[in-house]
Amino acid sequence: MEENKQKIIINVSNPEKLTDPIEVILREGAAPKAIEELPTKEPLSCNLDGIITTPANWLEKRIKNVELSEAYLVVDRENMQIALVVNETDYYNKRVIKGSVEFSEIFENFRINQEKGWLPEKLGQFIRLNRSAFADTSVAAELVTKLRKFNADVKVKLEKSNESNGSRSIVYDQQVTSSLPTEFTINIPLFKGDSKGQFTVEIDHYVDGADCFIVLVSPSANDAVEKFRDTILDREIERFKQFAPELVIIDGALTDNNVK
C-alpha cells in the first residue's frame, strides 16, 4: 500500500538559541464550518385589536417612541370603533391599533334585545349559573324555580269576514299568559371594560308550534347604548388630546384606505 507522505517545513529564526525540542501536533479531520449569519427578515406585523380604551392605553405608554407627525387617529362613530395608525408611510413598521365598543360577554349571553329566544328550561339553567348578575340572588332563585315549572296558557282567536263589495279581512289574535314575572333587574356591565349598570329586563313570549319561547327585552339597555355611543368615544378622544395634542384625529369609517 502506497503511503501518503506529507512534508512539513518548520522555519526557526534563531536556531542557535533553541534549547528545547520543537513539538509538532498534526490534527486530522475537517475544519469546523464558519457560523452562517441569520437571514434578514421583514419586521413582524404587530397590529392589535382590543376594547375601546386599547389605542389610548398603547400610545400613552409608548408616546416617547412614536413620531406623532407620522400618526393619526380614525374615529368611526357609526360602528363605535377607533383606530390608531403609527408610522403611516413606513411599509414595514406601520402599525394599526384598533379599539371597539363591544357588549360585555354576560350581556351578550343573556340574549337581551336579540331575536333568538330562550326555552324556559334553558333560561333557568343559565340564570342559575349567573345568579351573580342579580343584585338580590333570591330573586334569581325564585325565577329559576318558576322557569323549571313553567306553564303558559295560549289563546288564539281567528276572525274572518267577507264584505259584499268583495273585501276580505283576517284578524289573528294570540294571547300568552304565563306564571313568570313580567320583568326583573340585573346589575351587569353593558360594554366590555365598562363598569356595572342596573338594567330592567322585560319578559316577552312567543309561540312556535308546540314550544313557547321567552324573549328578553330591555328598553333601558337600548337607551344606554344610544346615550353612551358618542359619550364613550368622546371620552377616549379627550384622552388623546391631553397627552398627544399634536395627533391628527379624523372622523370617518374605518376602511382599507385609512387603516391598512
Summarize pLDDT for 134-148 with one digit per residue, the tens: 988 999 999 998 888
One domain for residues 144 and 61: no
Task: Quote the pLDDT of residue 159.
Answer: 46
Structure confidence at residue 163 (pLDDT):
52
Percentages helix, strand, coil for the chain (3-state, rounded to 5) are 30, 30, 40
* 92 neighbors 45 (Cβ within 8 angstroms): no
Range of the domain at 174: 105-157+170-220
Q: Is residue 25 part of a domain?
A: no
Non-local (6+) Cβ contacts of 211 within 8 A are 119
Within a domain: residue 20? no
Which residues face 162 on adjacent strands? 168
pLDDT value of residue 173: 45
Q: Give residue 213's pLDDT band: very low, low, confident or very high (50, 70, 90).
A: confident
Q: Mark whether 88 and 119 lie in a shared domain.
A: no
**Contact between 200 and 191 (Cβ < 8 Å):** no
- 117 lies in the same domain as 95: no
The number of domains in the chain is 2
Same domain, 80 and 152: no
Q: Is 27 a domain residue? A: no
Overall average pLDDT of the 158-177 stretch: 48
Q: What is the pLDDT of residue 194?
A: 80
133 or 151, which is more confident: 133
Computed over its alpha carbons, how large is the radius of gyration of the chain? 37
d(CA 240, CA 73) in angstroms, rounded, equals 9
